[in-house]
Amino acid sequence: MRQVADEFRRRAERSDSVAVIDDSGPYRARDLLRHAEALAETLSGTVLIQADNSWRTVAASLAVGFGGGTLALVNRHTTAAEFAAAFEDIQPDVVVAEPAALAEWAVPALLPGGAEAAVLDGWLARSAPGRRDVSRWAGGCLIGLTSGSTGRAKGVVQSEKALRYAAEQTIAINGLRAGDAIAAIVPLSSTAAYCFGVYQALTLGGPLVLWGRWDPAATLPRMAQAEVRWTMCVPTMALQLGAAAAGSRALSGVRSITVGGGPMDAGALGRAEESLGTRILRVFGMSECLGHTSPAPDDPPEIRLGRDGRPFPGTELRAVDPDGHPVRPGELGRGEVRGPSLFLGYARGGKLEPPELTAEGFLPTGDLLIADPDGTVTIMGREKDVIIRGGRNIDITEVERAIASHPRVAQVCVAPVPDEVLGERAAALIVPVDGGPVRLDEVTGHLHGLGLSKAKWPEFVFAVADLPQTAVGKLSRTGARDLARELHAGRPGVAQS
């Protein structure tokens, strides 16, 4: 983080422009610089911070950068057990959070004999008696937590070179200019949100516009007033912004909105961008290889909204067969990626654990994708996103894409519900556009018209107000599965045999 922090210092010394706008108002560059320089000695080594969407996260980032340290991110909604697991993997030298969070996470017990200091206008920094050398991260400047397949969050270690590459490619693709304002509406505790929020704003040298909590109606006027030119969000947020805009084209000054991290329907995204008055770019990326595909704002809607863009220059994304051999263009395969934003490894036991790559240096993404001859890619879902009904696999993503094309469907998630005979059956959780009820025969009739095999149709349909989300606003598959089971338990009977 040292490079971007030093750049910020030089700019602040030349011009005291607005650097952050959050719920408490604007913060000028020199205000943040004073906070950061005063904190640089305290926030040295590996610093685990409660990353909230406010000026505090930016000031702490600069302080860690000035000291050449490594910044680790944690969300305020993290449970005590989750925090303890993250602490074990990262073994930070300093923990920074609001006092209630330090107590809830039992930080004094995790850092016994440590010193506490008041920082960031009401927060506390608790430091270990000694500091470990950050060389244990092999050049990593950022550690972000991401969900692991075992249920334990993984600490993804990224270098500043990777952050810089991902941010600069996004800036170039979206036609952003030095000094442009961008907005961060996804919680900054995720690696991607931090990179394309804090780090990208510091790279551009313009204001970073923030909100403490997600509220579409409050987001629109602040973005317009601050003359925001770009933001990133998950599909749910894009659709909710479109609904809140109600056709007003309130974000006509925004050059583009990058959307990724969940099931997406081209029709629904098209209606949202028309309501907002901007362009939506459907992208693909992961914490381990940041934001590595994107279309361009001037691409036609069928590319921008119907596919997942093209790999960044210098990044390779390919589809392979089960034996690891590349498949032909247009064929479905398992995704593998390599490029400049590939992570250094995972934080395990207080040190870096290198990633498991193929012999050619590719990282298996766990996704199924199609690489088209024109260079664009389409992510078809996770390899493990299947329902096993009576020994037959049902591709969840395929069914969701089909249901999402129904004009009354704003969002959909297909989840398994238990069955004593067949093992699992498919249930569809649907957020209707009009908020009304949704009949099963209405959905299956639509799928019949599309030619989808009857064996893949959902056997239960539940209309819901919202789909379960993770702390960073992505669809929670676990939450959706739990909700489907609860609703199914109160609605016996099936629609097909």
pLDDT of res. 463 = 95
Q: Binning pLDDT at 50, 70 and 90, where does residue 495 land? A: very low
Write down the domain spans for the chain: 2-371, 386-489
Question: From residue 360, how far is each of 32, 159, 383 by CA, in Å?
Answer: 44, 21, 21
Q: What is the pLDDT of residues 376-410, one digit of tens each?
A: 999 887 777 778 787 677 888 889 989 999 999 99
Q: What is the pLDDT of residues 210-223, one digit of tens each?
A: 999 999 999 999 99
Question: From residue 178, how far is each of 96, 114, 119, 146, 456 by CA, in Å?
Answer: 31, 42, 31, 31, 50
pLDDT of res. 472 = 66
| pLDDT > 50? residue 150 | no
pLDDT of res. 491 = 61
Give percent of the chain with pLDDT exceeding 70.
96
Pair 75, 189: CB distance under 8 Å:
yes
| pLDDT > 90? residue 292 | yes
- Average pLDDT (418-442) is 89
Calculate the average pLDDT of the chain.
92
Q: What is the pLDDT of residues 11-44, one digit of tens each?
A: 999 999 999 999 999 999 999 999 999 999 999 9
pLDDT of res. 338 = 97
pLDDT of res. 189 = 93
| pLDDT > 80? residue 151 | no
Report how far residue 217's alpha carbon sits from residue 240's, in angstroms, rounded to the nearest whole number.
9
**What pTM, to 2 d.p., does this model score?**
0.83
Same CATH topology for 2-371 and 386-489: the answer is no
| pLDDT > 50? residue 493 | no
Q: Look up the CATH superfamily of 386-489.
A: ANL, C-terminal domain (3.30.300.30)
Q: What is the pLDDT of residues 457-470, one digit of tens each?
A: 999 999 999 999 87
CA atoms within 13 A on the CB side of 481: 11
Q: Binning pLDDT at 50, 70 and 90, where does residue 149 land? A: very low
Query: How would CATH label the architecture of 2-371?
Result: 3-Layer(aba) Sandwich (3.40)
Pair 330, 378: CB distance under 8 Å:
no
| pLDDT > 60? residue 497 | no
pLDDT of res. 470 = 78
Q: What is the pLDDT of residues 175-212, one digit of tens each?
A: 999 999 999 999 999 999 999 999 999 999 999 999 99
| pLDDT > 80? residue 152 | no
